[in-house]
A and B are shown apart, each in its own frame.
Chain A
Amino acid sequence: MDASDIYQRLTQQFAGDVSDFNGEALDPYFSVKASSIVTVCTYLRDESDLNFEVLSDLTALDLPKENKFQVVYHLYSYPHHHQSVLKVDLPREEARIVTVEGVWKAANWLEREVFDLFGIFFEGHSDLRRIMLPEDWVGHPLRKDYVEQEEYDGISTQREPLVPGVLR
């Protein structure tokens, strides 16, 4: 099934919860309402002709100009060889979404990473701790407005750029 057929199926099933289909993108994607992400994902996994058994990737984008985060889900179906890209918009000041750990266990670690590096809170997650950075790290580095703390545990994090002008 190609991306627009999948989107048609979802609009019939969840009118109003899915929107903004972009079929011209290299990997066509559509938006899902934050409140209905678990029901949409469960439907995508369980319907036999969709059968998205695998959550390939879960990550986020920081879009400060639009004052939002986008959580991006890449799903893949091995039997049907089709993929689907879901996006959920979250306001930057209230970045919370329900976990999809109950749908795919792989989400456990992937969501922990997004929590660590973006500071997006996943409600209902079984073990939401930082994964890459130490527990006492301040801030979420992959946010566009992240400012590195000047020192960590008494160790300076500052250095002169090796080649001036290469790093922006």
Chain B
Amino acid sequence: MDDTKQIEPESFQTEDMIINVGPQHPSTHGVLRFVVRTDGEVIREATPDVGYLHRSIEKIGEKVTWHGYVPYTDRADYLAAMFANQGFCMAAERLGNVQVVRRGEFCRVIACELNRIASHLIAVGTFGQDIGAITPFIHALRERESINNLMEEICGARLTYNYLRIGGVGYDIKPETCDRITAFIDHFVPIVDEYNRLLSNNKIFVERLVNVAVITREDAMQYNIVGPNLRACGIQWDIRRDIPYSVYPELEFDVPVGTGEKGTLGDCFDRYMVRILEMIESCKILKQCLKMLPKGPVISKVPIRFRPPAGEAYSRVEAPRGDMGFYVTSDGTEYPYRVRIRTGSFTSMGLIGKLSRGIMLADLIALIASLDVDAPEIDR
């Protein structure tokens, strides 16, 4: 056919598309929005838009008393409320020079490590769900439910615990609760193998994650990536071990790091695997704590009208989403002068814009899930 029109190459050119992801997309783990510019399936740039869950927790800190602020810190990261409690209490104790009683410290560590397992279960479960595997999520929530029951026994709440007090903890852990925690650990450690069968060794799951969105050591330092995401880059850094607080120096545990076992060091799979390994380490810590749990009071004497001397303190705790910093300033009154909460998710989000360039749209979901960002913790 000689009248066939020659198609000109220019008409094949593609246009960039702007796609909106969120704020109610289930993979965004809360209320979090991305404006994605794509060329077909390939992302040119993903711009995070945060702030939907901003509840001005820092401003509230200036309005309530020192003791009264502890329940508000729960809401900073509601998947890991215990750590925010601990971060704030530690900063207040440093300022007021309050010694925490020994049993109180152990109760704190027990509660925190249970909370870490619960938080990592959500991270691992929703990771599977985002990739398209619903079953592991249900299995993870089943185990988390047992932890919620234990938490309810310990402090009466299942999500926002308000368990820690300045100077110790609110309630003692009863011997029968200790038995139930031991029973849970014995039940849980074999369950991790189940996750390995369901997810970690699942070919479809692994191939979605290996070599995707690799974080290099330089990026991790420049963007201040912390916690499991940092360790996934092969950097062995854990606040519990390297800037010790509470009774962690007396406990033995390993700091798992990414190895790049399936692909590249610092890819999505490493970030997933570090969390699985950390759950086992938390179980080790729990067992030791239950064995070492001393007798005595759980809270030291702290005045109700707590007025720490003027000054400032910065405390760091190793939360499930990394280094959680509380920068607390006192002017000597009953109210904090300023409370600043520095969270791991916030700095991780800053890196997503860079990591998303050139990856597929579906990989963006894997990337968000692998960083385990938590919208309330970003926005505070």
The reply to whether the CB of A159 lies closer than 8 angstroms to some CB of chain B is: no
Is A25 touching B63 in the complex (CB atoms < 8 A)?
no
Chain A minimum-CB-distance residue to B323:
A56
A26 to B92 CA separation, bound complex (whole angstroms): 12
The stretch of B52-60, B103-111, B368-376 in contact with A is: B52-60
Instruction: Tell me whether chain B's interface is mostly helix, strand or loop, or mixed.
Output: mixed
Residues of B near A167 (CB, < 8 A) are 63-64
Is B325 touching A26 in the complex (CB atoms < 8 A)?
no
The reply to whether the CB of B98 lies closer than 8 angstroms to some CB of chain A is: no
Report which residue of B221, B325, B379 has the largest number of chain A beta carbons within 10 angstroms of its beta carbon.
B221
**B interface residue count range (under 10 / 10 to 19 / 20 to 34 / 35 or more):** 35 or more
**A interface residue count range (under 10 / 10 to 19 / 20 to 34 / 35 or more):** 20 to 34
The proximity string for B residues 225-257 relative to A, scoring 1 for CB distances below 8 Å and 0 otherwise, is 000000000010100001100000000000000
A72 to B312 CA separation, bound complex (whole angstroms): 11
The reply to whether the CB of B311 lies closer than 8 angstroms to some CB of chain A is: yes
Q: Report the minimal beta-carbon distance from B136 to chain A, rounded to whole angstroms.
A: 32
The reply to whether the CB of B42 lies closer than 8 angstroms to some CB of chain A is: no
Instruction: Tell me whether chain A's interface is mostly helix, strand or loop, or mixed.
Output: loop
The reply to whether the CB of A53 lies closer than 8 angstroms to some CB of chain B is: yes
The reply to whether the CB of A3 lies closer than 8 angstroms to some CB of chain B is: no
Contact A74 to B325, CB < 8 A, known contacts A54-B221, A142-B59: yes
6 interchain pairs, CB-CB under 8 A: A27-B314, A56-B323, A59-B342, A105-B219, A106-B223, A131-B51
Residues of A near B314 (CB, < 8 A) are 26-27, 57, 74, 85
A134 to B221 CA separation, bound complex (whole angstroms): 30
The reply to whether the CB of A81 lies closer than 8 angstroms to some CB of chain B is: yes
- Give residues of chain A (47-69) contacting chain B, Cβ–Cβ below 8 Å: 53-57, 59, 61-62
Residues of B near A55 (CB, < 8 A) are 224
Is B338 touching A61 in the complex (CB atoms < 8 A)?
yes
The reply to whether the CB of B201 lies closer than 8 angstroms to some CB of chain A is: no
Is A104 touching B312 in the complex (CB atoms < 8 A)?
no
Contact A61 to B325, CB < 8 A, known contacts A81-B242, A131-B50, A167-B64: no
The stretch of B145-153, B289-297, B344-352 in contact with A is: B344-352
Interfacial residues, chain A to chain B (CB-CB below 8 A): 25-27, 53-57, 59, 61-62, 72, 74, 78, 81, 85, 104-106, 108-110, 113, 117, 130-134, 141-142, 166-168
Is B311 touching A26 in the complex (CB atoms < 8 A)?
yes
The reply to whether the CB of B284 lies closer than 8 angstroms to some CB of chain A is: no
The reply to whether the CB of B357 lies closer than 8 angstroms to some CB of chain A is: no
Q: Which of A57, A85, A105, A168 contacts B350 (CB 8 A)?
A: A105
Residues of B near A74 (CB, < 8 A) are 314, 325, 327, 342
Q: Report the minimal beta-carbon distance from B305 to chain A, rounded to whole angstroms.
A: 14
Residues of B near A81 (CB, < 8 A) are 242-243
Contact A141 to B56, CB < 8 A, known contacts A78-B235, A106-B350: yes
Q: Report the minimal beta-carbon distance from B307 to chain A, rounded to whole angstroms.
A: 15
Residues of A near B323 (CB, < 8 A) are 56
